Amino acid sequence: MSYDLSQLGWDDTFVSAYRPFDRSDALPGRVLRADRGICTVITGSGVSRASLGGGVLLDASRDPARLPCSGDWVVLRQWPDRRTTLELVLPRRTTLIRRTADKDSSGQVLAANMDTVAVTEPIHPEPDDARVERLLALAWESGATPLLVLTKCDTTPDPAAMARQLAELAPGVRVIPLSTRTGQGLAELREHVTPGRTLALLGRSGAGKSTLVNALAGTAVMPVQAIRDADGKGRHTTAYRNMVTLPGGGAVIDTPGIRGVGLLDTAAGLDRAFADVTELAARCRFDDCDHESEPGCEVQAALAAGEITARRLASYRKLRHEVAVESGRRSARLARRAR
């Protein structure tokens, strides 16, 4: 079976990046799934399994974020003994990355080369404002276009009102109330998975990501499990990152459910996620305003006027501190490597 890679986003930019490595025993492909040392890759001639080449392993030993991930465009090499190795990861256009829990706070790539990141948050039992803000910061930092998808909207009598409420947490982000049971919102989401475009789903377990993939694919391609009625939480149905190609073109990357959302060095993404606060801060009298009790503080004035909430300001401060700490750790880590 042959595949048209342009339907999955293979364009002139990636063609140009691949050209120096084009040879008789090489071919380009896109990673569907990455396991330990083995990747499932789709190429123009079909789907194959490829082990990691030495150069890729060396790069990953220096920086784990360089390991191949779902969505990566790569260079494969076919050997005379019918082995296939993944020799190179082409430069990523966008990268969805979060901080891991290890001592060095390294980054874990969740998806690559997606055009849109849909932050999926279930309406039932109740959306978590702080989690939505963290996930939106990750989505903005990736370089892709963020969406906020409110799943299970058939469980509330007025999903539009809930969407308007959560839109206040997502300035500049389109909010889509969605139900896979009734079909509401699916057409709007499909606009972001047209031929040549890739959508990545980001959210906690039980948010309905795998169910969304099945709805977009029109068939059961991902396993799903029922959530607990008591608290609305789900199990880790998807324990790995997986890219699913859709009939007619386009692809969806399903990421594992995230319990903890660690921010790495996402200052730019955080500013976009809190655009309402950062725009106010830019108008403060003093450039180094801490937004506490300084005269001429626009943030405090907006808080007093009810334009922003104390919870949102506290969340902004907390995340800014977290990003600053991680940025300092990253600088120290790079300095140690240089020495």
Average pLDDT, integer, range 12-16: 97
Percent of the chain with pLDDT over 90: 65
Check residue 20 and give its pLDDT: 96
Residue 11 lies in domain: 5-89
- Tens digits of residue pLDDT in 190-223: 999 999 999 999 999 888 899 999 999 988 777 7
Domain final residue pick, 34, 69, 89: 89
Q: Are residues 230 and 277 in the same domain?
A: no
- Tens digits of residue pLDDT in 262-310: 676 667 888 999 999 999 999 999 988 888 888 999 999 999 999 999 9
Q: Are residues 223 and 133 in the same domain?
A: yes
- Report the interhelical angle of 310-338 vs 129-141 (nearest 10°): 40
Per the model's pLDDT, the better-predicted residue between 207 and 29 turns out to be 29
Check residue 236 and give its pLDDT: 44
Average pLDDT, integer, range 87-109: 81
> According to the per-residue pLDDT averaged within each range, which of 179-188, 226-235, 330-339 is highest?
179-188
Overall residue count recorded for the chain in this entry: 339
Q: Are residues 186 and 279 in the same domain?
A: no
Q: Are residues 153 and 84 in the same domain?
A: no
Domain final residue pick, 69, 89, 109: 89
Q: Within 13 A of 125's CA, how many CA atoms are on the CB side?
A: 8
- Give the Å distances, CA to CA, from 270 to 170, 211, 225, 277, 336: 11, 29, 33, 10, 27
d(CA 182, CA 97): 33
In a domain, 261, yes or no: no
Model's pTM, two decimal places?
0.87
Q: Are residues 191 and 284 in the same domain?
A: no
- Tens digits of residue pLDDT in 167-188: 999 999 999 999 999 999 999 9
- Tens digits of residue pLDDT in 104-136: 556 789 999 999 999 999 998 789 999 999 999
Nearest to 44 by CA among 27, 32, 31: 27
Domain count, the chain: 3
In a domain, 262, yes or no: no
d(CA 247, CA 216): 9
Q: Are residues 164 and 16 in the same domain?
A: no
> Taking all residues of the chain, what is their mean pLDDT, rounded to a whole number?
88
d(CA 94, CA 285): 36
| Per-residue tokens: 262 | 């660690």
| Cβ pair 68, 86 in contact under 8 A | yes
- Look at residue 332 and tell me whether its pLDDT is greater than 80: no
Per the model's pLDDT, the better-predicted residue between 251 and 318 turns out to be 251
Average pLDDT, integer, range 3-29: 96
In a domain, 259, yes or no: no
Q: Are residues 101 and 85 in the same domain?
A: no
Least confident of 23-37, 158-172, 314-328: 314-328
| Per-residue tokens: 156 | 């509330």
CATH number at residue 180: 3.40.50.300
Q: Are residues 15 and 122 in the same domain?
A: no
Check residue 261 and give its pLDDT: 61
List, in sequence order, the alpha helices (H) in the chain.
Answer: 12-18, 54-62, 129-141, 159-167, 186-190, 209-217, 267-273, 275-281, 298-304, 310-338
Cβ neighbours for 28, distance < 8 A, ≥ 6 positions apart: 5, 10, 14, 18, 43, 44, 73, 74, 75, 76, 90
| Per-residue tokens: 299 | 């943030």
Q: Are residues 231 and 126 in the same domain?
A: yes
Q: Within 13 A of 234's CA, how many CA atoms are on the CB side?
A: 25
Q: Are residues 106 and 219 in the same domain?
A: yes
Q: Are residues 61 and 101 in the same domain?
A: no
Percent of the chain with pLDDT over 70: 89
Q: Are residues 110 and 75 in the same domain?
A: no
